[in-house]
Amino acid sequence: MQYISFQDIKNDHLLGQWRLKDNSIGSSDPANPFATAERHIYNAGGVFILKSAMEKRGRWEIIYSDDLVKRPYLQFEVDSAKVLALITRLKCTEDCKKGQMTLYLTTGLELNLEKD
């Protein structure tokens, strides 16, 4: 696996089923669907599914900050609410079938996800 440069992150790197490795709730609401989801599925066309005891569906897209660094964010829309998550680490195999990703949501929740 190799680290993916933040400026080089593409949808293909994220597509597929990601398993929650661990999370740090911080100041986040434990009822937040991202805090309880055990699986994150990112599909082509910008559709995502959060799977836990209940299933939530929504939209996702990669956006970049306006500053000099151009930090990558995932913008989610679920239950009519928008949630931003900074991608702080992304490693993938060349074929993008396996990977590790860390997301830091603006709610204070940090997620460590694995794709295998």
Structural domain tally of the chain? 1
pLDDT at residue number 34? 85
> Tell me, what CATH number does 44's domain have?
2.40.128
Domain range enclosing 102: 2-87+94-115
Where the chain has pLDDT below 70, the residues are 25-30
pLDDT at residue number 39? 93
Residues whose CB falls within 8 Å of the CB of residue 33, separated by 6 or more in sequence, listed in order: 50, 52, 54, 56, 78, 79
pLDDT at residue number 4? 94
* Contact in structure between 26 and 53 (CB atoms under 8 Å): no
pLDDT at residue number 12? 93
